[in-house]
Amino acid sequence: MNIGLDMMGGDFAPLEAVKGLQLYLSGNAAGVNIYAIGDEALVKPLLEEHKVTSPSVHVIHAPEVIGYHEHPTKALKEKQRSSIAIGFHLLATGKIDAFISAGNTGAMLVGAMYSIKPIEGVMRPTISTVVPKLNGTTGLLLDVGLNADCKPEQLNQFALLGSLYAQHILRIANPKVGLMNVGEEEGKGNLLAQATYPLLKENSQLNFIGNIEGRDIFFDKADVMVCDGFTGNIILKLSESIYDLANARELGNDAYFNRFHYENYGGTPVLGVAKPVVIGHGISNAKAFGNMISLAAQMIESDLCGKMAEQFSN
Amino acid sequence: MNIGLDMMGGDFAPLEAVKGLQLYLSGNAAGVNIYAIGDEALVKPLLEEHKVTSPSVHVIHAPEVIGYHEHPTKALKEKQRSSIAIGFHLLATGKIDAFISAGNTGAMLVGAMYSIKPIEGVMRPTISTVVPKLNGTTGLLLDVGLNADCKPEQLNQFALLGSLYAQHILRIANPKVGLMNVGEEEGKGNLLAQATYPLLKENSQLNFIGNIEGRDIFFDKADVMVCDGFTGNIILKLSESIYDLANARELGNDAYFNRFHYENYGGTPVLGVAKPVVIGHGISNAKAFGNMISLAAQMIESDLCGKMAEQFSN
């Protein structure tokens, strides 16, 4: 399999991307070719310095970079030789099977939606985050910010996308799907939640267990937790701050609270588009990059996008 | 001042209410009369047993109780001799200056809105929660569940109600008001947040500091954090569960994480109604009851409701 990695994305690029690649290659990387996309003059010496000399790493020269504050659509159009534009070009033409970047999030989303396109039948792609459960397992929360205002039918689709991700990537058999809400009983919630509940209940592709509340997020009740992107983004950022709180209280060595650190999950895949796209945190470090490459490899290996397309064609 | 306390509300009633009363009276309770509303046959022996014999405690007999699962409006109408109905009757007629109950939340809200009524100019009352800030101060989040779907103008009013609560009860001079959102810049967010931002910005009664994100909730950025009740309720319950997480990880003795325990704030006042009404958690224990009585006393002493009425008449 061939994975494209944007070497120029993230606050510490390209150094942390190089170190992340090194970390990934030190594990089981058999059969994986990495296309390291970035400015040759910067990337090649760093790869050598960090002894990333595996023949499975190929540098693809990209002389331009899309900055964090550039307008996504405009930048993608004007900077055809940027690492993100080249990455999507390689992905769209099948030269690579997945693309990863910790660069301009907007540009990554625009690229995912317009050069890769949503799976047929998917109204809106979604982004998710993994959630560390107290019992040691991992849950999935979505949408976490791509869709601030949602329609009930979109949440119903996110539930299915999340459920397939939980099955094939998190390896949870028959994942329990919960609707984020303010009470347990059917009929509770805002208008969106009230209208979404019956759709989830009737969806035979889901193992819907009903409403879940804020107190259930880190506990066993549901594996896949569905909400609009406004609510989900607030939960995501609040959850990330729990790590900071634990750290500030010098509880940063607790194995559970450590799981709230973003680097442990690395990046968020864009779910509902036809090919694997993984977006990293701006502050991605080596560990985060390493984990994003592993995630992309899992997404390719499990043919997650193919399985999603299959379910949506039903 | 005269405070009414429902002795029959809460999972451990009337015992914990009695113990909470005892706890409160062991502190500085000068000038406070407590009207303990409940079944005499149950309440009086417990008060004696716990040596709550102060002449400032008056038992008001209420032979009926509204259960947790009763329909609020129906129960209030049919059970006129219930502790909640009697409490609101005493409050409406001026026999007591504040009413506290850990009983049926719906009945408390219905009572607050229909027997006490909103302050003139307030579209919808709101409920809030205090938020433990890492720096040791206390913030306020509202709405936390009374209004699942909101209009921008309602959020603007919640901001003012919360700001006055922060000034007069939390003793924060010129409290910083933030709009819960998914990004820092104006224009971010769902349709509600986008439409609310300009209202807050133009409201000269507020010290509006702009958008805040999930990661800012426990930090210094804003003292008063405004959102719809759906989002707020999820944040509230998630935050309460942080205490459970810390406890499960045997970090329960951390002074900061302990502040997430509901008993330390006791109950939530209904803001925007004409008289002080405090609603407790079903699981309220003695400490929670004691803190709710203190809160009611502070609300009376500061004439919070009067100050709110004044601001809304401007």
> Of B10 and A165, which is predicted with more confidence?
A165
A283 touches chain B (CB under 8 A): no
Q: From CA B157, how far away is CA B169, in angstroms rounded?
A: 18
Q: Is B256 on the interface with A (CB under 8 A)?
A: yes
ipTM of the complex: 0.92
pLDDT band at A260 (very low <50, low <70, confident <90, very high): confident
Give the nearest partner residue to A234 out of B180, B191, B257, using CB atoms. Answer: B180
Say whether pLDDT at A283 is over 90: no
pLDDT at B260: 84
Please give the pLDDT value at position A208. 98
Encoding tokens for residue A227?
């909400």
- In this complex, which of A148, A191, A241 lies closest to B189 when CB atoms are compared? A148
Establish if B254 touches chain A: CB-CB under 8 angstroms. Answer: yes
Query: Starting at the edge strand that comes first in sequence, how are the strands of the sheet with B224-226 ordered?
Result: B57-61, B33-38, B2-6, B98-101, B277-280, B267-271, B126-132, B138-142, B224-226, B176-180, B207-212
Return the pLDDT at B251.
67
Place of tokens 């090194």: A22
- Burial of A208: CB neighbours in 10 Å, binned 0-12, 13-18, 19+: buried
Closest chain B residue by Cα to residue A258: B249
A/B interface, count of CB pairs below 8 Å: 124
Q: B147 CB near a chain A CB, below 8 Å?
A: no
CA dihedral sign, ordered A153, A158, A161, A164: negative
Contact B217 A230 (CB under 8 A): no
Q: How far apart are the first and last CA of chain A?
A: 28
Name the token pair of B58: 């008056």
Instruction: Count Cβ atoms below 10 Å from residue B69 Cβ, excluding itself.
Output: 8
| C-alpha gyration radius of chain B | 19
What's the token pair of residue A126? 């979604």
Q: What number of residues does chain A have?
A: 314
A62-119 pLDDT, tens digit each: 999 999 999 999 999 999 999 999 999 999 999 999 999 999 999 999 999 999 999 9
How far is residue B59 from each of residues A110, A304, B25, B137, B290, measured CA to CA in Å?
Answer: 67, 66, 15, 37, 17
List beta partners, residue A311.
Answer: none
Say yes or no: B214 contacts chain A, CB-CB below 8 A. Answer: yes
Burial A285-295 (b: 16+ CB within 10 A, else e): bbbbbbbbbbb
The pLDDT of residue B249 is 81
User: Which among A214, A216, A256 is the nearest to B249, CB-wise?
Assistant: A256
User: Helix H segments across B104-190?
Assistant: 105-111, 152-168
Q: What pLDDT is attached to residue A285?
A: 93
- Tokens 């989830």 appear where? A200
pLDDT in tens, chain B (314 residues): 999 999 999 999 999 999 999 999 999 889 999 999 999 999 999 999 999 999 999 999 999 999 999 999 999 999 999 999 999 999 999 999 999 999 999 999 999 999 999 999 999 999 999 999 999 999 999 999 999 999 999 999 999 999 999 999 999 999 999 999 999 999 999 999 999 999 999 999 999 999 999 999 999 999 999 999 999 999 999 999 998 888 888 766 788 888 888 777 778 999 999 999 999 988 899 999 999 999 999 999 999 999 999 999 97
Q: Average per-residue pLDDT in chain A?
A: 95
Span A22-68, pLDDT tens digits: 999 999 889 999 999 999 999 999 999 999 999 999 999 999 999 99
Give pLDDT tens digits for A201-213.
Answer: 999 999 999 999 9
Inform me whether the C-beta atom of residue A201 falls under 8 Å from chain B C-beta atoms: no
Q: What pLDDT does B252 receive?
A: 62
Q: Mutual orientation of helices A191-202 and A152-168 as an angle, nearest 10°?
A: 50
Query: To which residue do tokens 């779910």 refer?
Result: A271
Local structure of residue A262 (DSSP, 8 states): G
Cβ distance of A235 and B238 shorter than 8 Å: yes
Could you say which of A134, A182, A248 has the minimum Cβ distance to residue B233?
Answer: A182
Do A254 and B249 count as a contact with CB atoms less than 8 A apart? yes
Q: Do B214 and A234 touch (CB under 8 A)?
A: yes
Backbone dihedral region for residue B52 (phi beyond 0: left; psi -120 to 50: alpha; all else: beta): beta
Q: What is the pLDDT of residue B74?
A: 96
Give the span between the Cα atoms of A127 and A113, in whole angstroms: 12
Count of alpha carbons within 13 angstroms of residue B249, beta-carbon side: 24
CA distance to partner chain B, nearest, from residue A229 (Å): 9
CA distance A283 to A11: 5
Domains in chain A (CATH in brackets) are 1-119+272-303 (3.40.718.10), 123-262 (3.40.718.10)
- Phi first, then psi: give them for residue A301, nearest 5 degrees: -60, -40
Q: Name the residue in chain B with its Cα closest to that of A213.
A: B234
pLDDT for the residue A314: 77
Cβ neighbour number for residue B63 with a 10 Å cutoff: 13
Q: Residue A252: what pLDDT? A: 62
Q: Is A240 on the interface with B (CB under 8 A)?
A: yes
